[in-house]
Structure 1
Amino acid sequence: MLNIVYAIIGAVFMVGMALFAFLKGGRSERIGAGAYLFAWFATIVMQEGSGFRGVPLGLFLIDLSLLGIFAAIAWRHRQSWPVWASGLQLIVVMAHIMALTGQAVSASSLYTIMNLTGYLIIVCIIVGTFYAWQERRAAELIGRNS
């Protein structure tokens, strides 16, 4: 029962972030939120197929591709939120590498790392969206006053 409550809270948080980014964010925030939403759905589908056992290679590839997208956004758009999101996503990728190389680490600690960094990445996207929205509003006000 409690797992369902956590899942619902996480889903509401995720969808709220995506709506905020799509409505108020700039191009990079929309790309980041869309990529993160896609990775989230792909991860759910991948976990359902594996029966939630272990850390499948597919999840590693999804997280690795999301790291590449965040790094590309950071490189192209020169904002600070994708740099933080890339760093957090790199922690997730390193956790996958630890599991795939057979390090003595419990699966629950790896999933905790992945979940906590996931929420922090959402916060990065929200903060980036807020600043992009405020910069756009300030530019509109300056444009009207000129």
Structure 2
Amino acid sequence: MLDTLYSQIGLLPMVLVGIFAFTKGDEPERLAMGAYLLGWMAALLLQDDQGLRSSWQPGMFALDVVMLLVLGGLAWKFHRSWPIWAASLQLIIVMSHMVTLFDLRPGMTAFYTIVNLAGYGILAAIGLGTFWAWQERRAAGLE
């Protein structure tokens, strides 16, 4: 998965948000980022790298469902808005797997576009949640 320049450049925001979440975030931000990084590493092992010819991948679908459950659990347990946004973007990813499964797609490029853009949206939600948690701690004088 890291064999193209695009995937290597796409790794940069994930690493930056990960560092920010683990250093400045509270428990929900660290849990979400940890799950996101573990999911990304598992996706490296599960992904079928046949490009646009690939079809539905049950391993990737299961991985995305687990990530949806993690983000849904964070939205349920912690009263913050960013896990709801992240879970809704993850739900879009899961639904695009379902569209691919039932062959109701305009093409695999649309699937990859949805998955990549929603992934960046999830990273943005985790990053914003980390920033808000950090600012709340600074305003309370805890940092």
TM-score by length of 1: 0.89
Deviation of the 1:19 alpha carbon: 0.8
How many residues align? The count is 138
Q: Which runs of 4+ in 1 moved over 2 A?
A: 50-55
Deviation of the 1:7 alpha carbon: 1.1
Instruction: Please give the per-residue CA displacement for 1:5-61, whole angstroms capped at 9, x wherever unaligned.
Output: 2111111111111110000000000000011111111112111xx333223101000
Report the more deviating stretch, 23-32 or 51-60.
51-60
Structure 1 residue 42 corresponds to structure 2 residue 42 = yes
Deviation of the 1:103 alpha carbon: 1.6
- Cα distance in 1 between the residues matched to 2:9 and 2:92: 23
Which is helix-richer, 1 or 2? 1
Alignment of 1:126-145 (within 5 A): 126-140=127-141
Query: How much is the aligned-residue C-alpha RMSD, in angstroms?
Result: 1.5
TM-score by length of 2: 0.91
**Which structure 2 residue ranges, 5 or more long, are not aligned?**
none
Deviation of the 1:93 alpha carbon: 0.5
Instruction: Please give the per-residue CA displacement for 1:63-117, whole angstroms capped at 9, x wherever unaligned.
Output: 0110000000000011000000011000000000111122243111101100000
* 1:24 paired residue number: 24
Structure 1 residue 57 corresponds to structure 2 residue 58 = yes
Alignment of 1:1-146 (within 5 A): 4-47=4-47, 50-52=48-50, 53-140=54-141
SS in 1 for 2:56: coil
Larger Rg: 1
